[in-house]
Amino acid sequence: MDTLISKFPDLVGQAVTVKGWAYNVRSSGSIAFLQIRDGSGFTQAVVVKTNVDEASWQAAVDTTLESSVEVTGTVSKHPKQEGVYELQASSVKLIQKSEEYPIGKKEHGPDFLLDNRHLWLRAPSQWAVMRVRNEIIYATYDWFRDHDFIKIDSPILTPNACEGTTELFEIDYFGERKAYLSQSGQLYIEAAIASVGRCFDFGPVFRAEKSKTRRHLTEFWMMDAEMAFVEHEGNLKIQEELVSFIVKRVLENCAAELKLLERDVEPLKKVVAPFYRLTHAEAIRILREKGSDIGDMDDLGADDETTLTQMYDKPIFIEKYPAAVKAFYMKRDPSDPTRVLNADLLAPEGYGEVIGGSQREDDYEALVARVREHNLPEKEFQWYLDLRKYGSVPHSGFGYGLERLVTWICGLHHVRETIPFPRLMNRLEP
Amino acid sequence: MDTLISKFPDLVGQAVTVKGWAYNVRSSGSIAFLQIRDGSGFTQAVVVKTNVDEASWQAAVDTTLESSVEVTGTVSKHPKQEGVYELQASSVKLIQKSEEYPIGKKEHGPDFLLDNRHLWLRAPSQWAVMRVRNEIIYATYDWFRDHDFIKIDSPILTPNACEGTTELFEIDYFGERKAYLSQSGQLYIEAAIASVGRCFDFGPVFRAEKSKTRRHLTEFWMMDAEMAFVEHEGNLKIQEELVSFIVKRVLENCAAELKLLERDVEPLKKVVAPFYRLTHAEAIRILREKGSDIGDMDDLGADDETTLTQMYDKPIFIEKYPAAVKAFYMKRDPSDPTRVLNADLLAPEGYGEVIGGSQREDDYEALVARVREHNLPEKEFQWYLDLRKYGSVPHSGFGYGLERLVTWICGLHHVRETIPFPRLMNRLEP
């Protein structure tokens, strides 16, 4: 019976066939140990020369690192390690022999590994990261379904910058005009709330920033959510519930992956709503007490975020930033019109911003004024302004960067390991 | 209590508040009927002048098409229509009055509707299409999770054409080189099967074809799946199970949406695996009998597909096309090396191709020969060739075009209504 290694706990004593790749091989004159990976998990096949036919023994001996193999045998419990299962082989087939697999046991530099990303993905650490990423994606979909959201895919090809910023990738659209790759789907899904009430998108976005920090990719995955009739407070509540749910799901379903990544799960267990909240003004005061010379109305930098998140054991919302440092569509705080009803969510342990969100300006005249203040092309934003003319409602939304969430939850240093095929300023391959 | 209209069946007799948009309004001197949509569903609020205060009555009278409103009242069963619920209003607030909403009851041309896509999304038909689209997406995710697939996001920014075809959108990558927008993630997820076994991607892809047919978009959503150790027969089985599951889920969860779209569900109920199978050679024979002059080794055109799908009451696999008309990576049929182990899945009722798939060439030397025959840049495909060097395995995959599935399942004529913000040769807005 063909099976997956992940099903072994239910198959002890049964004869099964597993197909996969050998990621480690040892053999002596009479016994061979083939460590096999099939995508669902890892196991060791024990091949005793006297228990198999000659062709099988030869196949076991010929098996090299990353060769593809098919092993039939009986599932057994590991004699000493609890929860570990082995395969007592009765037959081995070598499907394709791998010669000189380039990734070895020695340390490789990041450039070498990224050049071989198509193979590096097989490393147990990368397998684990991809499975945690998958769980975060699924947890997000599940939470949104349970909370009456509909997926509304926003377009990538757009006629202008969503937030009026520069740093966009430009394309020639049929020789007739320029198009740009979207940085965010937010404005588009704002249109959809009047149809479906609550919605989200989840897809790739693009930033042509000439940045080489460990938090930047030129192509990354973003989830944007938008909710009609939700104001600032409700927005934060939805975010902390979603993030708590995601972390809980990863803890429940990816314990083996986190262990493999040597992720300390204690800090993750504390990620339970409600999160901490600081106003931007409070954050500035704290940073100054810590010796920073940050100005009252300055934006927070990555270092400032790191300082703050090292002080708290849960994610922190920093809310009500100065309007001057934030996007044109954010609604002003009625109690202080120099500030907006926004919040950035900072992940603990120094990770920093994972979510940005705000209540949106829903008054037509106020929004027209903002568009003009930001020197945005009013005509091209008319469709967005229309949303405030025809049944405008208070509404809010937020977006998370998937790779930043994966980096934090996996406890990684660099965002580049968190996406299957990273795109950086100097990297388009493989 | 704030609630959603979709929860009304459980709330009969209870006082609730609903927030949404008026999509139809009638009033006489003593009674007003506000038809309200909140994203979850539709209801009629009955406002009797003598039952509400003066401000509420004035709000009801002032409510125009697509104004946003908040109505409090008691949920009641419609006196005559089974399964229909109303709201007997005790209070009405007009949140924002919509003046001269541009989309009226009269027929509008497609250009006008597409120019106003940000508002047209509110039409009940478009609401229904977006919800069916959402259900298809969720059914896909659910089926893959239940069948041990992991999501592996493939990159959009690529250094060359995935299938060696032309018609790609080109971008300038930091002034240093050209990049292209991906047409398919398939080659990339082939790399991931050696890590996770079975995987899929699901995201936007791009085609710069100068085509204006009703089946083409320049940006659309594609799902690619790839499975290690699955050969041609197994590939078809997975496809028919997935498609049957998707259709079943839409029938179960979107009955109201399909009714609103006047979709005859009888043909959909027949979409149960196994599907029909024809070889390409058989298909050619049938088309010739029907009067076509198609050649033995020609590709099928859209009209040919329409002819075939009108003859059968279920989807049809057309398998084993001539190698000359298909992509370089498809594995040759061992029993006829002029043909490949591929299949296109044609949806019935004239809809035509919704899936393309094949077993992949897994032999290094054979694949190198194909790359050369197709004049592809061997160096740039080296990473893809590597997959046949280091533990190659028999494997297969397929991809569906989301918008074509939505078009078929919703029974629509043109693919442009099936994506929130369609991108066509002559359309980048809104």
Q: Is the pLDDT of residue B334 over 60?
A: yes
Tell me if A362 is assigned to some domain.
Answer: yes
Whether residue B75 sits in one domain with residue B162: no
Last residue of a domain, one of A96, A131, A155: A96
For B:155-194, CB contacts with A below 8 A are 155-159, 169-174, 177, 179, 181, 188, 191-194
Whether residue B61 sits in one domain with residue B125: no
Q: What's the distance, Cα to Cα, between the start and end of chain B in Å?
A: 36
Tell me if B112 is assigned to some domain.
Answer: no
For residues B329-338, average pLDDT:
97
Nearest CA-CA distance, residue A287 and chain B, Å: 36
Which of A221, A390, A406, A423 is the mutation pick for testing B, counting most B CBs within 10 A?
Answer: A390
Whether residue B53 sits in one domain with residue B23: yes
Mean pLDDT of chain B: 95
Of B127, B152, B171, the CB nearest to A171: B171
Question: Could you tell me the pLDDT band of residue B92, with boundaries at 50, 70 and 90?
Answer: very high
Chain A residues with CB under 8 Å of B173 CB are 169, 428
Question: What is the pLDDT, as a whole number, of residue A163?
Answer: 53
Give the predicted TM-score (pTM) of the model. 0.97
Tell me if A104 is assigned to some domain.
Answer: no
Q: Is the pLDDT of residue B166 over 80?
A: no
The string over B340-356, giving b where at least 16 C-beta atoms fall within 10 Å of a residue's C-beta and e elsewhere, is bbbbbbbbbeebbbbbb
Tell me if A109 is assigned to some domain.
Answer: no
Q: Is the pLDDT of residue B145 over 80?
A: yes
The answer to whether A193 touches A209, Cβ cutoff 8 Å, is: no
Whether residue B83 sits in one domain with residue B122: no
Question: What is the pLDDT, as a whole number, of residue B165?
Answer: 52
Question: ipTM of this predicted complex?
Answer: 0.97
For residues B129 and B418, what is the distance between their CA atoms, to the nearest angstrom? 6
Domain membership of residue A24 as a residue range: 5-96
Nearby residues of B420 by Cβ (< 8 Å), 6 or more positions away: A152, A153, A154, A155, A188, A192, B117, B121, B130
Tell me if A248 is assigned to some domain.
Answer: yes
| Other beta carbons less than 10 A from residue B161's beta carbon | 17
Q: Is the pLDDT of residue B147 over 90?
A: yes
Question: What is the pLDDT, as a whole number, of residue B216?
Answer: 87
For B:83-142, CB contacts with A below 8 A are 95-96, 98-99, 101, 116-119, 121-122, 126-127, 130-131, 133-134, 137-138, 141
Q: What is the pLDDT along chain A (430 residues), one digit of tens a residue?
A: 899 999 999 999 999 999 999 999 999 889 999 999 999 999 999 999 999 999 999 999 999 999 999 999 999 999 999 989 999 999 999 999 999 999 987 789 999 999 999 999 999 999 999 999 999 999 999 999 999 999 999 999 998 755 555 689 999 899 888 899 999 999 999 999 999 999 999 999 999 988 888 888 999 999 999 999 999 999 999 999 999 999 999 999 999 999 999 999 999 999 999 999 999 999 999 999 999 999 999 999 989 999 999 999 999 999 999 999 999 999 999 999 999 999 999 999 999 999 999 999 999 999 999 999 998 889 999 999 999 999 999 999 999 999 999 999 999 999 999 999 999 999 999 9
Whether residue B152 sits in one domain with residue B19: no
Report which of A250, A99, A251, A224 is spatially closest to residue A162, judged by C-alpha positions: A224
Question: What is the pLDDT, as a whole number, of residue A187?
Answer: 96
The answer to whether A72 touches A39, Cβ cutoff 8 Å, is: no
Whether residue A124 sits in one domain with residue A57: no
Whether residue A163 sits in one domain with residue A67: no
Question: What is the pLDDT, as a whole number, of residue A216?
Answer: 87
Whether residue B138 sits in one domain with residue B55: no
Q: Is the pLDDT of residue B163 over 60?
A: no
Nearest CA-CA distance, residue B192 and chain A, Å: 7
Whether residue B314 sits in one domain with residue B408: yes
Whether residue B361 sits in one domain with residue B280: yes
φ, ψ for residue A226, nearest 5 deg: -145, 135
Angle at B208 between CA A422 and CA B235, to 5 degrees: 65
Residue of B nearest to A100 (CA): B390
Tell me if B325 is assigned to some domain.
Answer: yes
For B:325-384, CB contacts with A below 8 A are 362, 380, 383-384
Give residue-wise pLDDT tens across range B3-13.
999 999 999 99
Which of A196, A384, A392 is the mutation pick for testing B, counting most B CBs within 10 A?
Answer: A196
Which of B153, B167, B186, B402 is the mutation pick for testing A, counting most A CBs within 10 A?
Answer: B153
For residues A47 and A88, what is the distance between their CA atoms, to the nearest angstrom? 7
Whether residue B298 sits in one domain with residue B151: yes
3-state helix, strand, coil split of chain B in percent (to 5) is 35, 30, 40
Question: Cβ of A72 under 8 Å from any chain B Cβ?
Answer: no
Say which CATH number the domain at A226 has.
3.30.930.10
Tell me if B354 is assigned to some domain.
Answer: yes
Tell me if A424 is assigned to some domain.
Answer: no
Last residue of a domain, one of A47, A66, A96: A96
Please report how many Cα atoms fall inside a 13 Å half-sphere around the Cα of residue B277, on the Cβ side: 14
Last residue of a domain, one of A31, A62, A96: A96
Say which CATH number the domain at A43 has.
2.40.50.140
How many independent structural domains does chain A possess? 2
Whether residue B219 sits in one domain with residue B185: yes
